[in-house]
Amino acid sequence: MNAHVRAADPKQRIKGATGDWEIVIGLEIHAQVTSRAKLFSGSSTAFGAEPNSHVSLVDAAMPGMLPVINEECVKQAVRTGLGLNARINNRSVFDRKNYFYPDLPQGYQISQYKSPIVGEGEIMVDVTPTQSITVGIERLHLEQDAGKSLHDQHPTMSFVDLNRSGVALMEIVSRPDLRSADEAKAYVTKLRTILRYLGTCDGDMEKGNLRADVNVSVRKPGEPFGTRCEIKNVNSIRFIGQAVDVEARRQIGILEDGGTIDQETRLYDPAKGETRSMRSKEEAHDYRYFPDPDLLPLEFDDAFVETLKIGLPELPDAKKARLASQYGLSPYDAAVLVAEHEQANFFEAVAKGRDGKTAANWVINELFGRLNKESKDVTASPMSADQLGGIVDLIGEGVISGSIAKQLFEIIWTEGGDPRAVVAARGMKQVTDTGAIEKVIDAVIAANPDKVEQAKAKPTMAGWFVGQVMKASGGKANPAAVNEILARKLGLG
Ligand code: ADP
Ligand code: MG
């Protein structure tokens, strides 16, 4: 189906007083380019420096200063375009977008308007592990970030910090292909994953390195698109979802009361759970765009693009498909692993030469579960892939049972060490010696003659004996051997 005319899943519709409504969403993502220097100057982009310590004469817009394009930022934009399956434009143009803001010393932002560096593309978005949609990308262009006004430093004055002035941003504009808050959140999540794989933006929303303008409109199913409002600068994925729902409800309320939607720019207030009008929507002609006379059109040849293409890493979709087939994983497990490339790398280091499903189970359920509890990501894991692999080996060899493995996991997590050595030193080996197991079973049977009678009448009672035997052996008895010998002794086999 053509993504542009995609209808919402009936489940995603909103019930109103006058019938069902459908939400239409398009996102403009501002992603800070990973680069040591700014887009048109050599100043550092390092975060958190003393105010105004990373400001060149170009960034401060001193008269007569000339911008010089940073080739690394161009490469990052092209890499990103390739990662979004998009058309790369070998010729693009930088324009001046004119407006006044105290933290914009040039009085204009250098951006790209009619001729962006990257054209149409598309990405696949998993809304659930088994349901995916294709979202169209309209364009990606390069532009400068502005500085920052500081209003909390002085009782009567505002200050300006120009450290961020001139830092390169990629604006990535989606088609209005999204139909629910969940789809919008999944889209941003996927886009951020791709950017991180590419190494072109760190996706750190807390630092403002990735922020979204959320365009929302509503319509009755089957009708043309309605008038949209643009919610500016939403800085977390959760807030993007909330802003969509709150704004859609507001618009439905107005329309059902017989009103009309004014196209405007709004702000989302998470504390109040509402969007507020900021200004009426500006039109492109308000900015008096014109090609920046200080910059030649940006041109490169196919070989430049080809070289960057060859250098691209394996991207999430390809990695997901490969992990699923190479290691026999479910789509769900593969999706969890590829969400961050560091997670997939960790998994592959554990799975190498071992059973893939067991490795995935231990990485996802035990390791990620544990990391999550301590709010750590996999790069800060106290347990190495070698150590977890060692535990998986001991399970595979039948040296330890699953329940002992969990105890061993705990020990290695908190104390470190080599799993095999720890098992030997602490006597955690699984007992497969049937003679020893038989002795324990005989003792349990002798102590519980009444239960033996019950078990003979009701074979499911055998489970109680298994529990007792496992307990008496400190969890070390081989469960298969216990089951087998018990069945024989109780005459259930
Ligand atoms: P502008 O530059 O004025 O913000 P664009 O044409 O670049 O306008 O579109 C901005 C965003 O708005 C895009 O992501 C697009 O998908 C989205 N959009 C366009 N029309 C609608 C609509 N009717 N409802 C929701 N989103 C829309
Ligand atoms: Mg816009």
CA nearest to 143, candidates 192, 203, 95: 95
The mean pLDDT value for 346-356 works out to 96
Domain boundary pick from 272, 289, 306? 289
For a ligand 1 pocket test, name from 28, 180, 287 the mutation site with the most ligand atoms within 8 angstroms of its C-beta.
Answer: 28
The average pLDDT across 261-278 equals 94
Alpha-carbon gap, residue 285 to 104, rounded angstroms: 19
- The answer to whether residues 272 and 404 belong to one domain is no
pLDDT digits (tens, 9 = 90+) for 152-181: 999 999 999 999 999 999 999 999 999 999
- Identify whether 193 is part of a domain: yes
State if residue 136 touches ligand 1 by the CB under 6 angstroms criterion: no
pLDDT in tens, 61-112: 999 999 999 999 999 999 999 999 999 999 999 999 999 999 999 999 999 9
| CB of residue 248 inside a 6 A radius of ligand 1 | no
Model confidence at 207: pLDDT above 60: yes
> Token match 């365009």: residue?
215
CA 281 – ligand 2 centroid, Å: 9
Q: Of the ligands numbered here, which is closest to the C-alpha atom of 138? A: 1
Domains contained in the chain, number: 3
- Rounded to whole angstroms, the Cα distance separating 163 from 201 reads 18
15 and 90 assigned to the same domain: yes
> Is the CB–ligand 1 distance for residue 173 below 6 Å?
yes
Structural domain includes residue 116 = yes
Instruction: Report the sign of the C-alpha dihedral through residues 36, 39, 44, 45, in that order.
Output: negative
398 and 443 inside one domain? no
- Tell me the CA–centroid distance for residue 182 and ligand 1, in Å: 19
Nearest residue by C-alpha to atom 20 in ligand 1: 176
- 264 CB-contact burial (10 Å; exposed 0-12 / middle 13-18 / buried 19+): middle
Is the domain of 418 the same as that of 475?
no
Q: Hey, which residues does 229 pair with through a beta bridge?
A: 216
Whether 116 is in the pocket of ligand 1, judged by its Cβ within 6 Å, is: no
Q: Residue 268: its pLDDT value, please?
A: 97
Say yes or no to pLDDT of 5 above 60. Answer: no
What H or E segment, with its residue span, contains residue 278?
Answer: strand 274-280
Same domain, 61 and 102: yes
Has residue 302 been placed in a domain? no
Question: Which residue, judged by its Cα, is nearest atom 19 of ligand 1?
Answer: 176
C-beta 141 within 6 A of ligand 1: no
Residue 294 lies in a domain: no
Any ligand 1 atom below 6 A from CB of 30: no
What pLDDT shows up at residue 286? Answer: 86
More confident: 114 or 131 = 114
Q: Kindly report the protein residue whose alpha carbon is nearest to atom 14 of ligand 1.
A: 26
**Does residue 442 share a domain with residue 402?**
no
Query: Can you name the residues that pair with 172 across neighbouring β-strands?
Result: 29, 140
Residue 304 in domain: no
Give yes or no: residues 419 and 439 share one domain.
Answer: no
Q: Which atom of ligand 1 is nearest to the CA of 225?
A: 23
176 in contact with ligand 1, CB cutoff 6 A: yes
Question: What's the chain's average pLDDT?
Answer: 94
Distance of CA 79 to the CA centre of its chain: 19
- Per the CB < 8 A criterion, the answer to whether 435 and 481 are in contact is no
pLDDT tens digits for range 361-407: 999 999 999 999 999 999 999 999 999 999 999 999 989 988 889 99
Q: Report the CATH number at residue 465.
A: 1.10.10.410
pLDDT per position as a tens digit, 442-490: 999 999 989 888 888 888 888 898 899 888 888 888 888 888 898 888 8
Residue 174 lies in a domain: yes
Tell me the CA–centroid distance for residue 15 and ligand 1, in Å: 24
Co-location of 396 and 441 in the same domain: no
Pocket flag, ligand 1, residue 25 (CB < 6 Å): yes
Domain containing residue 158: 10-289
Residues 182/191, Cβ–Cβ less than 8 Å: no
369 and 343 fall within a common domain:
yes
24 lines ligand 1 (CB under 6 A): yes
Confidence band (pLDDT; 50, 70, 90) for 123? very high
Ligand 1 close to Cβ of residue 228 (< 6 A) = yes
Is residue 264's pLDDT more than 50?
Answer: yes
- Pair (264, 334) in one structural domain: no
Choosing from 289, 323, 350, the residue where a domain stops is 289
- Please give the average per-residue pLDDT across 45-63, as a whole number: 95
The confidence band for 3, taking pLDDT boundaries of 50, 70 and 90, is very low
Same domain for 325 and 209: no
Cα 230 to ligand 2 centroid, rounded to whole Å: 7
Closest-lying ligand 1 atom to the alpha carbon of residue 226: 23
Ligand 2 centroid, distance to 29 Cα (angstroms)? 10
State which ligand 1 atom lies nearest to the alpha carbon of 217. 24
Cα 216 to middle of ligand 1, angstroms? 8
What's at 270, amino acid-wise?
Answer: P
CB 327 within 8 A of CB 359: yes
Where would I find the H helices in 147-220? 181-198
pLDDT value at 2 more than 60: no
303 part of a folded domain: no
From 173, 229, 240, the mutation candidate for ligand 1 (largest count of ligand atoms within 8 A of CB) is 173
Ligand nearest to the CA of 179: 1
Q: Greater confidence, 435 or 410?
A: 410
At residue 53, does pLDDT exceed 90? yes
pLDDT above 60 for 26: yes
Counting from 1 in the atom list of ligand 1, the atom nearest the Cα of 282 is: 3
Q: Do 229 and 275 form a contact (C-beta atoms < 8 A)? A: yes
Q: State whether the beta carbon of 486 lies less than 6 angstroms from ligand 1.
A: no
- Nearest ligand (C-alpha, residue 184): 1
State the pTM of this model.
0.89
264 part of a folded domain: yes
| pLDDT of the residue at 81 | 98
Confidence class of residue 1 from pLDDT cuts 50, 70 and 90? very low
CA distance 354 to 348: 10
Ligand 1 within 6 A of CB of 401: no
The answer on 402 and 469 residing in a single domain is: no
pLDDT on residue 454? 86
